[in-house]
Homo-oligomer: A and B are copies of this chain.
Amino acid sequence: MEEVFVVNGVRKDELLPAFNDDHGGVIVELKEPMDPNNFRSRLRASLFQWKLQGKKGVWIKIPIGLVNLVETAVKEGFWYHHAEPDYLMLVNWIPVIDSTIPANATHRVSIGAIIVNDKRELLVVQEKNGKLKGKGIWKIPTGVIEQGEDIFAGAIREVKEETGVDTEFVELLAFRQMHKALFGKSDLLFLCMLRPLSYKIQKQDLEIEAAQWMPLEEYAAQPFTQKHSLYKYINDLCLAKLDGSYAGFTPRPITSIFGDSISYLYVNKQDLNRRIFSLN
The residue from B80, B109, B263 contacting A178, defined by CB atoms under 8 A apart? B263
A34: Cβ under 8 A from any B Cβ: no
Counting CB contacts under 8 A, is A176 at the interface? yes
Q: State whether A257 touches B240 (Cβ < 8 A).
A: no
A188 to B249, CA, bound (A): 14
Contact with B along A179-191 (1 / 0, CB 8 A): 1101111101000
**Can you name 8 extra interface pairs (CB under 8 A) apart from A22-B133, A80-B86, A105-B107?**
A22-B131, A24-B129, A83-B83, A148-B186, A174-B268, A177-B266, A178-B263, A248-B268
The interface of chain A, by Cβ under 8 A from chain B, is 22-24, 64, 67-68, 70-71, 74-75, 79-89, 98, 100, 102-109, 129-131, 133, 144-148, 150-151, 173-180, 182-186, 188, 206-207, 228-230, 233, 236-237, 239-240, 243, 245-249, 254-258, 261, 263-268, 271-272, 274-276, 278
Q: Please state if A105 and B70 are interface contacts (CB–CB under 8 Å).
A: no
- Residues on B with C-beta less than 8 A from A74 are 64, 67
- CB of B275 within 8 A of CB of A247, answer no
**Is B255's CB under 8 angstroms from A228's CB?**
yes
Q: Are B247 and A268 in contact (CB under 8 A)?
A: yes
- A244 shortest CB reach to chain B, Å: 10
Which residue of B100, B131, B249 is within 8 Å of A258 (Cβ)? B131
A80 / chain B contacts, CB cutoff of 8 Å: 64, 83-88
Q: Shortest Cβ distance from A260 into chain B, in angstroms?
A: 12
Contact A261 B22 (CB under 8 A): no
Q: Are A148 and B179 in contact (CB under 8 A)?
A: yes
Whether A188 contacts B188 by the Cβ 8 Å rule is: yes
Contact A176-B263, Cβ < 8 Å, known A79-B64, A230-B254: yes
From the candidates B103, B147, B173, B237, name the one contacting A186 in the complex (CB within 8 A).
B147
A173 and B106 within 8 A (CB): no
User: Given A103-B144, A186-B147: A88 and B85 within 8 A (CB)?
Assistant: no
B residues near A82, Cβ cutoff 8 Å: 82-83, 104, 183
Instruction: Out of B83, B106, B274, name the residue touching A107 (CB < 8 Å).
Output: B106
Structural contact, B249 and A174, CB atoms closer than 8 A: yes
In the bound complex, do residue B103 and residue A105 qualify as a contact, i.e. CB atoms below 8 Å apart?
A: no
Can you list 15 A-B pairs with a CB-CB distance of less than 8 A?
A: A22-B129, A23-B129, A80-B87, A80-B88, A82-B183, A83-B83, A105-B108, A175-B266, A176-B254, A228-B255, A230-B265, A233-B265, A239-B275, A245-B274, A247-B268
| A81:B85 contact, CB within 8 angstroms | yes
Contact of A177 among B106, B180, B263 (CB under 8 A): B263
